Amino acid sequence: VCVLYRHSRTRKYESELHMCRLEVLAVQFSEYHPLKAITVTDSKSRRGGRKGSTSSSSSSSSSVAPDPLSSMLDGTDPLSLFAVVIYVTVIVTLSLGRKRKEKEEEVGSDFELWSSKRGEILSRFTTTEKLSINLFMGSDKSKASSPSSAVSEKVRTRLEELDDLEEGSQRELLNLSQKDYVNRIEELNQSLKEAWGSDQKVKALKIVIQCSKLLSDTSVIQFYPSKFVLITDILDTFGGLVYDRIWSMCADPHPLPESFSADDVNDTAKETCLNWFFKIASIRELVPRLYVEAALLKCNRFLTKSGIQETLQRLTAMIRGIGDPLVAVYARAYLCRVGMKVAPHLKDSLNKNFFDLLASFRQVHGESVQNQLVLQRVEIPIYLTLYSPAIHWILQCVAYRAPEVLLTEMMDRCKKLGNNALLLNSVMWAFRAEFVATRATDFISMIKDCDEAGFPKHLLFASLGHSLSVADPPESERLSILNEAWKVITKVRSPRDYINCAEIWVEFTCRHFTKREVNTVLADIIKHITPDRAFEDAYPQLQSVIKKILTYFHDFSVLFLMEKFLPFLDMFQKDSVRVEVCKSIMEVFINALTLDDEKRALSLLINGFIRMVSFGRDFEQQLSFCVEARATFCNLEPIIIHLIHTVNQLAMETRRVMKGNHSRKTAAFVRACATYGFITIPSLTSIFSRLNLYLLSGQVALANQCLSQADAFLKAAVSLLPEVPRTISIEGKQRSSEPFLLDFINNFLSTLLVVPDHPEQGVLYLVRGLLNMVQDYTWEDNSDAKIRVYISALPLLAAMSQESYLYTIPKVDSNETLYGGDPKFIAEINKLCETLISQVLDHLKELGQDEGVRRQGSLAFSLSGCLLAHGDLRNNKLNQLVVNLWNLWNLSHKRGFCDTRTSVRTLEYIKHQAQQADMSHLSDVTARLSLQSRA
């Protein structure tokens, strides 16, 4: 059936509007009263009947273009970009050049890797003093041999290079800043990779040896932990390169299995592996020889079954020969690091390293160390902190999944050393919080016996407090623990040290005690932090105190009945910080656990407040306020919806104030408003709220000539349609979603009239995309909703075929301007209309008898009314179709399924239209339309 192009009647909207205006008649006052009842006739018929089959899609598959919204899946929307970022982040990092799947490490996700500590060490241990470094300059000897060189000559050349291993060409760089030093280390790391890539293996080894030598130097002692981090990065790289090289030699003829043994390794690979260890053995100095061999620890797997275990024992014993205790403790840390990575099950070597550390720790107070500290003007407390990263790491490795009895052994050994504060602190950090909490009273006793000269006791109580914030000590000991801890904390004179420690113990107090004890703690904090306005430098810690209190006290009245709570809040005198604190308090009492009724009440109050906030014509400030409000009330959906409406109004207000004069700044602001909505709408749980806000935001973007943003909103709405559930909850009851979905689609169709086609998409791509989604949607059984959407689309297509559209948007060119009545465009509309009407007619034929007649008659009446309003009935085929549809309606009317008044009024209206000058052809149609009486 051809409906449009030649057969869509030309519309004159202005004259039609004039004709539709109400006729002015004189009113008799006796017949009129403003309170007189008004009768409204409902023309909708009830749905029902038995199940009918859905129409076939074959009739439309040839004429309907492919779904243009498939482009939504190319990852360009914000949520897809986020998914891509998450996907890339979780990809497993592969070793350099390795083409096999590595066996997973035996340590679990509960083990904190070295990489997580690296950044903190580099930022913490810095220096302003000048540093020096020896750079390897290279020589001609280290160049790769030509392919024609004999193997024996190549070996001889490398042996000569080894003879010159430590006396080669070097250059010492002096007076380097810390930044320059780090850059030079990075250059050495890059040189190592380049040398290896160009088959200059000996040169690579020389670089590693020279870097390892730097770990013997403690001339700028406060920088040593950071130096250790930088140098061991190079060692790790070197170890991986050597291991990969030997592994690749084992791939002929077949790759090694993941759990290979030394028996699976061929002779060539074993010989190469031994050659590397022989080279390392020729290093004269202890420290570089130890570090380089430790870096190659994993390569022992290629030689013997017990090679790793034996090497760990030997290297552990070798470290005893290092005289400087700081150098020795970091050497042990690196050995534990590679041991934990390669063979974490070998606990004996880890324990031995720590016990050797305890045995040699008296060297810290030896004469040589003291002289060095005097020379470098470093005080003993600062010096002791340099040990912390290494000792923490060693103890973390030792304590990982260790039995509780090991902690008892560690505590006994610390007591024998006189309760060394640094070691005791590391023990409390390393072992499980549950183990520490169980022995909290014992730890307090040990802390009391510590010498406070090198490591203040309040730091030890801070470490103990960390464990007690996540694990509970015995209930009978909790009050005494709090009293003992606070006796030490309250005597700390430095406000900074005091608040750092007090902030930790606030959580323990809130966790186990009442508002009375918490109030006492707040009073003590106020007492220490108020003098000299010390609170101005402690806002982060004070905010943390507030958050911890709010975590455990949810009763608003209890919180504000604390005598010291409001005075505590008064210390937040910086406006921005004070606002953040007030936000955090509000968030506690407006959280995800709030009942629905409370949420609605709170949302109404907050929305009322938001409406009162105005920044005049400072629209950017108004938008910033909406951004902050969204972050603050993210779990209150009514507020989020209200904020999106507010931002859309803000965009329209900007357009009104500018009076159509869109400067770049104004356009950018409107785009920012659109971005706000596009990012915020997906966070809503109500799918119809999302749909309606996508449509509203698209309309606002169109009104502001932001076509790309409008296109994105409308495409997002279409792509969301398949997610609409068949039922939704309304006031606690499950209702069908179809009426709401139909209302939305009709509203959406009316908007599409003014939306121009995208230049890179097909003709009517949004209309086709919407209809494709409607066709694929899973509608209810015995539902005619899909067919009603098809009928609703016909008036839109008829309006699109007009030379002048019914309505347009200023400064936005609709399709009437873009196509200008192009015959190809009209032909596309014509084809789409034919497909839709065919689908409707197929559905009418498939409807059965009885209850199906009711649905058949209702749909026939709707389609006939659409064709009467928008089709040119001078076309005989179209004329006959209208008559046939009216007869179907008559059949339903005859069986009592239709409203007689509706039928009579419809027929009267058609006769009235036939009296118009340009509608006289309707007289022929009217003569063929009859109204049968009910049976």
Per-residue pLDDT of 381-409, as tens digits, reads 888 889 989 998 998 998 888 888 989 88
- Region at 177 (left for phi over 0; alpha for psi -120 to 50; beta for the rest): beta
Per-residue confidence (pLDDT) for residue 259, from 0 to 100: 78
Mean pLDDT check: name the lowest of 198-207, 250-259, 515-524, 907-916: 250-259
Asked if the model's pLDDT at residue 473 lies above 50, the reply is yes
| Rounded Cα distance, 690 and 896, in Å | 41
DSSP 313-339: HHHHHHGGG---HHHHHHHHHHHHHHH
Per-residue confidence (pLDDT) for residue 85, from 0 to 100: 38
832-843 pLDDT per residue, tens: 998 999 999 888
Per-residue confidence (pLDDT) for residue 58, from 0 to 100: 36
Q: What is the mean pLDDT of the chain?
A: 81
In the chain, the amino acid numbered 424 is L
Per-residue confidence (pLDDT) for residue 426, from 0 to 100: 86
Mean pLDDT check: name the lowest of 64-68, 517-521, 629-633, 871-875: 64-68
How many CA atoms within 13 Å lie on the side-chain side of 356? 24
User: What pLDDT band is residue 11 in, cutting at 50, 70 and 90?
Assistant: confident
- Which element (helix H / strand E) includes 131? strand 131-136
| Rounded Cα distance, 572 and 580, in Å | 10
Closest-CA residue to 678 (of 637, 716, 706, 723): 716
Mean pLDDT check: name the lowest of 81-95, 268-282, 473-487, 701-715: 81-95
In the chain, the amino acid numbered 722 is P
How many CA atoms within 13 Å lie on the side-chain side of 464? 28
Q: What is the mean pLDDT of residues 902-927?
A: 78
Per-residue confidence (pLDDT) for residue 29, from 0 to 100: 47
3-state secondary structure 207-259: HHHHHHHHHHCCCCHHHHHHHHHHHHHHHHHHHHHHHHHHHHHCCCCCCCCCC
Tokens of 437: 């909490």
How many CA atoms within 13 Å lie on the side-chain side of 678? 23
Residue 496 makes CB contacts below 8 A (sequence gap 6+) with 534, 537, 538
Q: What Cα–Cα distance (Å) separates residue 21 from each residue in 17, 18, 24, 25, 866? A: 7, 6, 9, 12, 21
Greater confidence (265 vs 524) lies with 524
Report angle CA 768, 771, 776 to the nearest 5 degrees: 125
Asked if the model's pLDDT at residue 46 lies above 60, the reply is no
Cβ proximity of 715 and 666 under 8 Å: no
Per-residue confidence (pLDDT) for residue 559, from 0 to 100: 81
How many other β-carbons are positioned within 10 Å of the β-carbon of residue 135? 16
Chain mean position to CA 831: 45
Residue 637 makes CB contacts below 8 A (sequence gap 6+) with 603, 684, 685, 686, 689
| Rounded Cα distance, 909 and 912, in Å | 5
Per-residue confidence (pLDDT) for residue 54, from 0 to 100: 37
Cβ proximity of 284 and 316 under 8 Å: no
| Rounded Cα distance, 213 and 235, in Å | 12
Closest-CA residue to 287 (of 321, 256, 241, 262): 321
How many CA atoms within 13 Å lie on the side-chain side of 221? 22
User: What pLDDT band is residue 150 in, cutting at 50, 70 and 90?
Assistant: very low
Domain coordinates in residue numbering, the chain:
595-723
Per-residue confidence (pLDDT) for residue 56, from 0 to 100: 36
User: What pLDDT band is residue 359 in, cutting at 50, 70 and 90?
Assistant: confident
205-229 pLDDT per residue, tens: 999 998 999 999 998 999 999 999 9
Per-residue confidence (pLDDT) for residue 933, from 0 to 100: 58
| Rounded Cα distance, 19 and 189, in Å | 86
Q: What is the mean pLDDT of residues 542-566?
A: 86
| Rounded Cα distance, 522 and 502, in Å | 10
DSSP 833-854: HHHHHHHHHHHHHH--STHHHH
Per-residue confidence (pLDDT) for residue 894, from 0 to 100: 66
Per-residue confidence (pLDDT) for residue 72, from 0 to 100: 41
| Model pTM score | 0.51
743-769 pLDDT per residue, tens: 999 999 999 999 998 888 888 999 999
| Rounded Cα distance, 264 and 260, in Å | 6
Q: What is the mean pLDDT of residues 274-297?
A: 92
Cβ proximity of 188 and 234 under 8 Å: yes
Asked if the model's pLDDT at residue 557 lies above 50, the reply is yes
70-84 pLDDT per residue, tens: 444 444 444 444 444
Closest-CA residue to 482 (of 456, 525, 511, 453): 511
Q: What is the mean pLDDT of residues 417-426?
A: 80
Cβ proximity of 200 and 157 under 8 Å: no
Q: What is the mean pLDDT of residues 673-687?
A: 93
Using the structure block, give the residue that is written with the tokens 């306020």: 625
Per-residue confidence (pLDDT) for residue 917, from 0 to 100: 73
How many other β-carbons are positioned within 10 Å of the β-carbon of residue 174? 8
Cβ proximity of 106 and 122 under 8 Å: no
Asked if the model's pLDDT at residue 61 lies above 50, the reply is no
| Rounded Cα distance, 668 and 670, in Å | 5
Cβ proximity of 333 and 397 under 8 Å: no
Closest-CA residue to 424 (of 406, 407, 438): 407
Q: What is the mean pLDDT of residues 583-590?
A: 75
Asked if the model's pLDDT at residue 731 lies above 50, the reply is yes
Cβ proximity of 372 and 326 under 8 Å: no
Cβ proximity of 770 and 718 under 8 Å: yes
Cβ proximity of 377 and 439 under 8 Å: no
Asked if the model's pLDDT at residue 128 lies above 60, the reply is yes
User: What pLDDT band is residue 876 in, cutting at 50, 70 and 90?
Assistant: confident
In the chain, the amino acid numbered 463 is S
Which residues, in sequence order, are bridge partners of residue 172? 134
- Which element (helix H / strand E) includes 736? strand 733-736
Tokens of 387: 């040990």
Provide the residue count of the chain: 935
Mean pLDDT check: name the lowest of 368-382, 484-498, 723-737, 906-920: 906-920
The top-scoring range by mean pLDDT among 366-370, 536-540, 597-601 is 536-540
